[in-house]
A and B are shown apart, each in its own frame.
Chain A
């Protein structure tokens, strides 16, 4: 999966418009980054990468790049 495909999955989980996120995007600046987006992100990681993000891992996320680092 290339980075564009990964960004697209994150955009879907965070319910942003397409092609609006970059690895540098700060999550706090994303209006739709909330508890519902976090739960959607956890489900997406589980479905696509077989990983279960913990609460502390979610809390530690600062940028979109931090999410990408888990997507391997």
Chain B
């Protein structure tokens, strides 16, 4: 069936965290256009409703919850299953924050804050997905990592470490879940033109931008496209991998801001 559209996510149910803005929002919208049903996670119901209003199809649910509330995650995921009495077919972990400074100015509190937001909830979500009562066999999990996990820059100890942790955790989960044909991958985008990447794009000239990213800077939609591929059967033999979205950057540092 060469012509079959394998990017069809019809009838599949996905939990998308960080769905209020940026990559999470773009992914939720794209999944809905491909026929999937989305549980929208974020802290603010009001902001999630804005994402919801841009989505197509039916069967989506706005389910606000602060994922830094570690103890509550299992109960939250159970409520995501109960709302339509269906298990998940995939999870997109797009919740995350930036920030951090050079070591001389960095502090333990900030490191903890970033790890608590960017990494610890992913552990609880993977743990929940270790049961087929939560995630159906054949499901797909995608976390948003970063170029920083592979090419960290100055002032990125906290952020880059949290993203590298996501990558390594995904490799372990990929091994443990393979028997169920559950796949676990991450994407490593370069700077993305989202609220989180705004400071970078405001500080470079159009000429510099072109030098960094000959293919043009990444948009949230570019990243969402790769995520949809990783959720779909088109990537059914890809697991434990980290897909670099390079936009043509040759690995050069972006630390000139410091």
Q: Which of B130-166 contact A (CB under 8 A)?
A: 130-133
B132/A15 in contact, CB under 8 A: yes
Give how many A residues have a beta carbon under 8 Å from the other chain's beta carbons. 7
Is A15 within 8 A of B130, CB to CB? yes
With the chains together, A15 CA to B179 CA distance in Å? 12
Complex interface: chain B residues within 8 A of A12 (CB): 131
A62, CB-defined interface residue at 8 Å = no
Task: State the Cβ distance, A17 to closest chain B Cβ, in Å.
Answer: 7
Q: Check A36–B133 contact: CB distance below 8 A.
A: no
Complex Cα spacing A12 to B131, Å:
8
Bound-state Cα–Cα, A34 to B130, Å: 14
* B contact residues, total (Cβ < 8 Å): 6
**B84 within 8 Å of A (CB atoms):** no
- A29–B200 alpha-carbon span in the complex (Å): 57
**Bound complex: CA of A45 vs CA of B131, how far in Å?**
18
A15 adjacent to B176 (CB under 8 Å): no
Question: How far is the CB of B15 from the nearest CB of chain A, in Å?
Answer: 19
Contact of B176 among A17, A18, A32, A36 (CB under 8 A): A36
| CB nearest neighbor in B for A11 | B133
Is B133 a contact partner of A17 (Cβ separation < 8 A)? yes
Q: How far is the CB of B226 from chain A (nearest CB, A)?
A: 29
User: Which of A15, A17, A32 has the most chain B CB within a 10 Å cutoff?
Assistant: A15
For B115-143 the 0/1 string (1 means CB < 8 A from A) is 00000000000000011110000000000
Q: Which residues of A contact B (CB under 8 A)?
A: 12, 15, 17-18, 32, 34, 36
